[in-house]
Structure 1
Amino acid sequence: MEQQQQQNQSAVEMALLEYKEGLGHFTEKMPDIAKKYNAFTEACFAKGKLSQKEKQMIALGISVFSQDEYCIIYHTKGCLDQGCTEDEILEAVGVTAAFGGGAAMSQAVTLVQEAMTDLSGKGSQMQQ
């Protein structure tokens, strides 16, 4: 049953699952570091002068610029979870591409769009 569920998941959803599993293993082995890292990132992404939506778009742009595929997927999901529209996400990665050139544009026109499609509920089997 589990194998069939994995086969039904997209590559994007599988990457999110791999990240979560990896983070779980790291947390088991290094609980103090993981706890402090998680507290730090939660504080960074908490609503402040910037909304959580704006912070997710910033994080997505940085992820695209640095070509971190796991973070691209994770923060595309974060953008969608915070109510970003497709146009807002594409505008944010367009700004990133203007700064980051061809490497950023290649991630914007491939992985970000694939992640938006897979994670926006269009065929997604993963529970949020």
Structure 2
Amino acid sequence: MEAGNSTESALLKYKEGLGVFTQKMPEFASKFNEFTQECFKAGALTQKEKQLIALGISLHAQDEYCIIYHIKGCLDQGCTEQEILEAVGVTAAFGGGAAMSQGVTLVQECISELNQMMQ
């Protein structure tokens, strides 16, 4: 997705889709909105910190709409570009770490077990 108009377009598309969904499922949409508002309230973590966490999860899940939404949330909460990019770095480390942890355990175990079965 390209920046600029594509970002605006994605936000508009999400808002329009949410509006239609809310008309069709008002009770569900209301409860979901209440739940997410509660989750993002400041508590032991600030709203800024919660937006950075949500951005990292969105990146790891590769959810473009959530990535855009939470980048906007980060900016709205006063995150700097450096803070956002550091969150990207942590997410990359997590994704790479997950691959590495499976590679040094499950992958090696499977190779060993499958090779034994093939003998």
Among 41, 49, 52, the alignment partner of 1:46 is 41
Which of residues 67, 73, 79 in structure 1 aligns to 2:68? Answer: 73
Deviation string 1:93-127 (CA, Å, 9 cap, x unpaired) is: 100001113xxxxxxxxxxxxxxxxxxxxxxxxxx
Q: CA RMSD in A?
A: 0.8
> What are the Cα deviations for residues 31-81 of structure 1, in whole angstroms up to 9, with x where unaligned?
000000000000000111100000000000000000000000000000000
Gaps of 5+ in 1: 1-8, 102-128
2:28 to 27, 33, 56: 33
Query: Structure 1 residue runs of 4+, over 2 Å off?
Result: none
- Secondary structure of the residue aligned to 2:12 is helix
Pair 1:21-2:16 in alignment: yes
TM-score by length of 2: 0.77
For structure 2, which runs of at least 5 residues remain unmatched after alignment?
Answer: 97-119
| Distance in 2, Cα, partners of 1:21 & 1:83 | 26
If you compute each CA radius of gyration, which structure gives the higher value, 1 or 2?
Answer: 2
Q: Are 1:61 and 2:61 counterparts?
A: no
Give aligned-pair identity as a percent.
73
